[in-house]
Amino acid sequence: MDVSKKKELQALAVRIRMAALEAIHSLGSGHIGGALSICDVLAVLYGGEMRVDPQNPQWPERDKLVCSKGHAGPGVYGTLAVKGFFPYEELKTLNRPGTRLPSHCDRNKTPGVDMTTGSLGQGTSLACGMAMGEKLRGRDSRVFLIVGDGESNEGQVWEAFSFAAAKKLDNLVVLLDWNKRQLDGWTEDVLSMGDYVEKFNAFGFDTVKVDGNDVEALQGALERTRVGNGKPFAIVMDTVKGAGIKEVAETVMNHSLTVNDEQYTRWMAQLQSELDALEG
């Protein structure tokens, strides 16, 4: 990856974090940890890897994203706002009465959201059906599925992964957000899931593990998924829950946090200076 492309994606990731923070601060609290951990992959996906058109969010030939960890909505909304799917100012309506930006992703409300999620695990099967639908329609669109590591406690996730491999859904890319924490604390303590790479391989996936907060590593892994080989792809993203805002990342129980005006101002200034350095 050339340096300018890398800086561009890194800057996009910072902008997405700023947008997610804008939304969560406007409400005063929200699912900040798991939204921040996926901002880098969202930047790579919407920064060029995915075939999308912000002016035509229902374009049938587009690539689709299912954020099965639906509570990361603010990260997805931040991305869509930055990319122009809807006005940036609308981020401040998060969870307000009548909003198009509910806590969990809703395909019937938000321009650019491809699937409704929120009850953990369900997005995995939906993504399989979507990927199968693309194949039946003869389209070369890909379906990207973000799954939380805590979410993978749900049995439905593994039903869906079995299905994806059995039906050779090689237009499906699973992005496992291995941020090592869930609502009650460390996943190792709540319900240890073992080695994800071994698990995915055993389930019949073509699997790689990368630094999930490194846009260059993510881009490299995603490039491998452009041509199908009869197997679904899995990218185990080694991430930090709360990545990009040090104080959030260092708070162990950061699934949902309050964000006051002082924190917002300080964190925004930090993100802005990162952005200036990248774009300066």
Residues that bind other proteins in the complex, under the rule CB under 8 A: 60, 106-108, 114-116, 118-119, 121-134, 136-137, 155-156, 159-160, 162-163, 166-167
Q: Which helix (H) or strand (E) holds 271?
A: helix 261-279
**C-beta of 9 vs 80, nearer to other proteins:** 80
CB of 65 to other proteins, least distance (A): 13
Q: How far is the CB of 158 from other proteins (least distance, A)?
A: 9
Nearer to other proteins, 164 or 275 (CB): 164
**H or E stretch at 126:** helix 122-136
Cβ count within 10 A of residue 18: 21
Say how far apart CA 152 and CA 3 lie, in whole Å: 35
- Compare residues 131 and 215 and give the one whose CB is closer to other proteins: 131
How many alpha carbons fall within 13 Å on the CB side of residue 280? 7
Q: How far is the CB of 27 from other proteins (least distance, A)?
A: 22
Task: Map tokens 């969010």 to a residue.
Answer: 57
At closest approach, how far in Å is the CB of 96 from other proteins?
20
Write down the least CB distance from residue 34 to other proteins, Å.
Answer: 19
Q: In the chain, what is the straight-line distance between the N-terminal and C-terminal CA atoms, in Å?
A: 20
* Collapsed DSSP state (helix, strand, coil) of residue 184: coil
DSSP letter assigned to residue 54: T
Q: Which is nearer to other proteins, 116 or 254 (CB)?
A: 116
- Continuous segment of H or E residues that includes residue 263: helix 261-279
Cα distances (angstroms) measured from residue 143 to each of 115, 125, 161, 174, 241: 11, 12, 14, 9, 24
Q: Tokens representing 122?
A: 């369900």
Measured from the CB atom, is 119 or 265 closer to other proteins? 119
Q: What single letter denotes the amino acid at residue 260?
A: N
Residue 40 Cβ vs other proteins, minimum distance, rounded to whole Å = 26
Q: Which is nearer to other proteins, 55 or 108 (CB)?
A: 108
Q: Quote the least distance from Cβ 191 to other proteins, whole Å.
A: 19
User: Structure tokens of 275?
Assistant: 């952005």
Phi-psi region of 138 (alpha: psi -120 to 50; beta: other; left: phi over 0): left
* Beta-bridge mates of residue 57: none
31 in Cβ contact with 74 (< 8 Å): yes
Element at 261 (helix H, strand E) = helix 261-279
Q: Given the complex with other proteins, which of 37 and 95 has the nearer CB atom?
A: 95
Closest distance of CB 125 from other proteins, Å: 2
Give the nearer residue to other proteins in terms of CB position, either 131 or 221.
131
